[in-house]
Amino acid sequence: MASAGGSMKEAAKTSVRKVAVLGGGAFGTAMANHVASKGILVSLWAREDEVVHSVNSKHENSTFLAGVLLSEKIVATSSVAEAVSEAELLFLIIPTPFIAKWLEQNQTVLPWQVPLVCFSKGIEQQSLRTPYEILVDELPGKYHAKLAVVSGPSFAKEIGVGLPTSVACAAQDLEVAKQVQLALATRNFRVYTAADVIGAELCGALKNVLAIACGASDGFGFGANARAALITRGLAEMTRLVVKKGGKASTITGLAGVGDLVLTCSSSLSRNYSVGQAMVARSLPEHKRQVPGTGNFNQDLAVAEGVKTSLAVHLLAERLGVEMPICESVYEVIHKGVDIKTALRKLQDRPLRAEHDEYQGTWVWSAL
Ligand SMILES: NC(=O)c1ccc[n+]([C@@H]2O[C@H](COP(=O)([O-])OP(=O)(O)OC[C@H]3O[C@@H](n4cnc5c(N)ncnc54)[C@H](O)[C@@H]3O)[C@@H](O)[C@H]2O)c1
Ligand SMILES: O=P(O)(O)OC[C@H](O)CO
């Protein structure tokens, strides 16, 4: 079994002695193992009894992160109250669609005096809220000052075996971001602080949708030129939505933006990219039968957040009047049953135009 790298010698100094990781999926487990590698005690809350049992008895999460040897400093529990007891940092790492319900069920036991850091990437389907917006809406005001998000190019499988990784931690309060930075940082795991919470979160959600498009393009064998174009024009779409939602264009150039987009759009380790590839591998009639609500499409692809996020992005872009043709194509294929090749070709048939427009004295990506 592979084991995580990083030792106390390499780690940034932190006063944190116990972290509660709330979510025992692949990423929660990888982050638990990472902080445990710094000598920090970790209480890992997992929803599934078999995960709790596997982590405690075999030091492995054989359901979600099989093959990674976990630190003995990790103790798994099915009790949220037990997990958060005496924790000095809380990491929330569950898929976005479940966050609101989870908070409703568990918020009474969550301490408000310690930072609550959310690692989830997505946009809630009905409300069109990001994870941070859900937290602000659902938690009482006393929690808000300590909220933070972490985003960036970070495959659980690579963190699980201690490969070098860099992420950004964004918070309204820089001191909170710095506290998280110190708790997480090792020589192999660099953490940059940031102030643009909404920008970081939207980038993390949008890259999943764009990765589906890139996986599909590669699945068709359209080549590296096409993938690079999708990534670049995808960045243009991300920029427009981020700026419209009050985020900063500079976030797009960072780890949460271009960093995560490039990673996810070019590796079959990405579940979203793999979904794009898989959609091409299926025959068209089969694909159409598997449109959500008419077959097993969602079950099949449950772990790829971009599937659900594509619908949320479609609605958000419509509401805000933002042009997002690549994301719209992904939405049409997944949620409307449009033939995938037709959708990709439609992108190529869009009117020709300048790459950038002049906007308020600066050059910005054009809208089409
Ligand atoms: N896997 C990665 O490499 C990675 C990297 C960065 C961020 N993330 C983000 O972390 C979040 C969690 O993803 P993951 O990869 O750890 O998950 P996963 O796909 O490995 O596992 C699914 C998780 O969902 C949980 N779950 C299922 N139904 C639930 C419910 N009703 N209520 C609460 N939880 C439920 C399961 O217990 C499990 O923890 C996602 O938002 C993802 O985008 C993942
Ligand atoms: O496997 P994916 O596509 O969910 O991507 C995982 C991470 O978000 C990469 O940073």
SS3 letters for 217-254?
A: HHHCCCCHHHHHHHHHHHHHHHHHHHHHCCCCHHHHCC
Whether the CB of 215 sits within 6 Å of ligand 2: no
The pair of three-digit structure tokens given for residue 221, joined into one six-digit string: 């064998």
Same domain, 204 and 172: no
Average pLDDT for the chain: 90
- pLDDT > 50? residue 299: no
Q: What's 121's domain CATH number?
A: 3.40.50.720
- pLDDT > 90? residue 281: no
In a domain, 328, yes or no: yes
In a domain, 364, yes or no: no
Closest residue (by CA) to atom 17 of ligand 1? 25
Ligand number nearest to the C-alpha of 78: 1
- pLDDT > 70? residue 287: no
CA of 129 relative to ligand 1 center, distance in Å: 17
Same domain, 181 and 238: no
Name the residue of 21, 93, 132 whose CB sits within 8 Å of the most ligand 1 atoms, as the mutation to test its pocket. Answer: 93
C-alpha 355/C-alpha 363 separation (Å) is 10
Neighbouring C-beta atoms of residue 224, cutoff 10 Å: 10
Higher pLDDT, residue 211 or 301? 211
Beta strands at 116-118 and 147-151: parallel, antiparallel or unpaired:
parallel
pLDDT mean over 59-82:
97
Residues 239, 301 contacting (CB under 8 angstroms)? no
Higher pLDDT, residue 283 or 365? 365
- pLDDT > 90? residue 182: yes
Q: What's 331's domain CATH number?
A: 1.10.1040.10
Residues 105, 180 contacting (CB under 8 angstroms)? no
Q: What is the pLDDT of residue 340?
A: 87
The pair of three-digit structure tokens given for residue 322, joined into one six-digit string: 């933002």
Closest residue (by CA) to atom 39 of ligand 1? 25
Highest mean pLDDT among 248-262, 285-299, 333-347: 248-262
CA of 30 relative to ligand 2 center, distance in Å: 13
In a domain, 358, yes or no: no
C-alpha 211/C-alpha 234 separation (Å) is 9
Same domain, 189 and 216: no
Neighbouring C-beta atoms of residue 176, cutoff 10 Å: 21
Out of 13-27, 117-131, 294-308, 336-350, which region has the weakest mean confidence (pLDDT)?
294-308
In a domain, 51, yes or no: yes
Q: Which of 211, 201, 192 is nearest to 252 (CA)?
A: 201
Q: What is the pLDDT of residue 321?
A: 95
CA of 172 relative to ligand 2 center, distance in Å: 24
- pLDDT > 70? residue 364: no
Whether the CB of 27 sits within 6 Å of ligand 1: yes
Whether the CB of 259 sits within 6 Å of ligand 2: no
How many separate domains does the chain show? Answer: 2
* Residue 207 is a catalytic residue: yes
In a domain, 363, yes or no: no
Beta strands at 18-22 and 89-92: parallel, antiparallel or unpaired:
parallel
CA of 207 relative to ligand 2 center, distance in Å: 9
pLDDT mean over 275-289:
68
Q: 164, 195, 226 — which closes off a domain? A: 195
Q: What pLDDT, in 10s, does the model give residues 208-227?
A: 999 999 999 999 999 999 99
Do the annotations mark residue 194 as ligand-binding? no
Q: What is the pLDDT of residue 363?
A: 61
Ligand number nearest to the C-alpha of 263: 2
Out of 95-104, 158-167, 339-348, 355-364, which region has the weakest mean confidence (pLDDT)?
355-364
Q: 195, 227, 261 — which closes off a domain? A: 195
pLDDT mean over 291-314:
66
* Percent of the chain whose predicted confidence (pLDDT) is above 90: 81
C-alpha 235/C-alpha 252 separation (Å) is 7
Q: 195, 217, 234 — which closes off a domain? A: 195
Query: Quick one: pLDDT band at residue 357, thresholds 50, 70, 90?
Result: low
Q: What is the pLDDT of residue 202?
A: 98
Which atom, in ligand 2's list, is nearest to the CA of 274?
A: 3
What is the three-class DSSP state of 364? strand
Q: What is the pLDDT of residue 367?
A: 55
Same domain, 227 and 178: no
pTM above 0.90, yes or no: yes
Out of 103-112, 131-140, 201-210, 335-344, which region has the weakest mean confidence (pLDDT)?
335-344
Same domain, 60 and 180: yes
Whether the CB of 270 sits within 6 Å of ligand 1: no
Whether the CB of 260 sits within 6 Å of ligand 1: no
Q: What is the pLDDT of residue 135?
A: 98
Amino acid (one-letter) located at 277: Q
Domain that holds residue 161: 2-195
